[in-house]
């Protein structure tokens, strides 16, 4: 059953696939490279984050972590959710947007890429150890405690990804982007309800599994909100100056094409005359 409708005008599929592949590869490799400066700053920042959250009275992560561990079945489900939904839901919505909402696809795709690019800057400038590394503070990694499969459960996890890239949380950011898409473009009430529930569930999962702090989620979500606003302005409501620039660029391209065609016709005519 279709839950979206759209119009023609999507960018070429091959270009989008190459763009997504290159961007995700760069995102993954950059996360790995940025872990080379040691873990000292990451743990220092973790202590600072916890201290700030206690001051603000929003340090709910430890209570959620303890509650989740009392429910092993739910903890295992949360681990699976953390591993899979971040990618499955986001990529599925990218496909739906491309297929059914191509005009919306352009600015929404740009928004999530802008936010993710900015997040890489955050990973570099502010390495942060996740709560699951802070056993002295009472946190427990459900993957380790339950001997269950998880995102960082493999032997090579420490070398194949940057586990100190907790700030900002793009699990929270991407889930908010997905929720926005579902609420904005969904044509059925249950789709919109899922759009509301999905980011809320994601935040609860990343906090209770001790993978992120609540401030990580706040910053990640703020990046998405800001990027959505910026992309909307650039793509859907461009300023007059940008519109004029686009018009001049389009005019220049059309003029250039016309000149090339005239030149080609002239050359072709001259060659025909020579043969006669």
Q: Please, how many CA atoms are within 13 Å of residue 177, restricted to the half-sphere of its CB?
A: 35
* Structural domain contains residue 3: no
Q: Check pLDDT > 90 for residue 103.
A: no
What pLDDT was estimated at residue 14?
75
CA torsion sign for 184, 187, 192, 194 is negative
Judgement on whether residues 251 and 151 belong to the same structural domain of the protein = no
Q: Give yes or no: residues 55 and 75 share one domain.
A: yes
Pick from 104, 131, 86: which is nearest to 186 by CA? 104
Q: Are residues 168 and 218 in the same domain?
A: yes
Q: If you average pLDDT over residues 80-106, what whole number do you get? A: 90
Least confident range of 153-157, 226-230, 267-271: 153-157
| Residue 213 and residue 155 in one domain | yes
Q: Is the pLDDT of residue 166 over 70?
A: yes
Do residues 267 and 164 share a domain?
no
**pLDDT, mean over the chain:** 80
For 35, the 3-state DSSP assignment is coil
- Residue 165 is classified by DSSP as B
Q: With a cut of 70, say whether residue 108 has pLDDT above it.
A: yes
* Counts of helices then strands in the chain (DSSP H, E): 11, 0
For residue 232, what pLDDT is reported?
Answer: 92
pLDDT exceeds 80 at position 20: no
Q: Is the pLDDT reported for residue 172 higher than 90?
A: yes
Question: Which of 201, 199, 204, 198 minimizes the C-alpha distance to 224?
Answer: 199
Position 3 scores a pLDDT of: 43
115 neighbors 177 (Cβ within 8 angstroms): yes
Residue 155: what pLDDT? Answer: 46
Give the lowest-confidence range in 29-43, 166-180, 214-228, 250-264.
250-264
Structural domain that includes position 229: 13-237
Whether 249 maps to a domain, the answer reads yes
Same domain assignment for residues 253 and 173: no
pLDDT score of 77 = 92
pTM above 0.75? Answer: yes
Residue reference for tokens 């859907």? 236
Q: In this prediction, what percent of the chain has a pLDDT beyond 90?
A: 46
Domain count, the chain: 2
Same domain, 250 and 211: no
Task: Look at residue 1 in the predicted model and tell me its pLDDT.
Answer: 37
Q: In whole angstroms, give the CA distance from residue 26 to residue 34.
A: 12
Q: Residue 215 has what pLDDT?
A: 96
């Amino acid at each position: 059953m279709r839950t979206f409708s759209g119009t023609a005008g999507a960018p070429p599929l091959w270009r989008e696939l190459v763009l997504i592949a290159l961007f995700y590869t760069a995102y993954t490799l950059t996360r790995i490279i940025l872990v080379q400066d040691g873990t000292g700053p990451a743990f220092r920042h973790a202590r600072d984050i916890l201290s700030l959250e206690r001051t603000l009275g929003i340090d709910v992560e430890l209570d959620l972590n303890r509650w989740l561990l009392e429910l092993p079945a739910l903890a295992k489900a949360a681990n699976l959710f953390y591993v899979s939904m971040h990618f499955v839901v986001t990529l599925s919505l990218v496909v739906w947007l491309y297929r059914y909402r191509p005009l919306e696809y352009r600015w929404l795709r740009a928004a999530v890429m802008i936010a993710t690019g900015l997040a890489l800057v955050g990973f570099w400038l502010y390495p942060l150890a996740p709560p699951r590394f802070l056993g002295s503070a009472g946190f427990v990694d459900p993957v380790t405690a339950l001997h269950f499969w998880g995102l960082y459960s493999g032997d090579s996890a420490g070398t194949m990804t940057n586990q100190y890239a907790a700030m900002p949380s793009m699990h929270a950011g991407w889930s908010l982007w997905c929720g926005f898409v579902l609420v904005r473009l969904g044509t059925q009430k249950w789709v919109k309800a899922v759009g509301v529930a999905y980011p809320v569930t994601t935040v609860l999962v990343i906090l209770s599994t001790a993978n992120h702090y609540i401030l990580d989620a706040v910053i990640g979500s703020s990046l998405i909100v800001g990027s959505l606003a910026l992309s909307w302005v650039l793509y859907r409501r461009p300023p007059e100056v940008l519109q004029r620039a686009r018009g001049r660029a389009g005019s220049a391209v059309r003029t250039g094409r016309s000149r090339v065609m005239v030149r080609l016709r002239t050359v072709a005519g001259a060659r025909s005359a020579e043969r006669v």
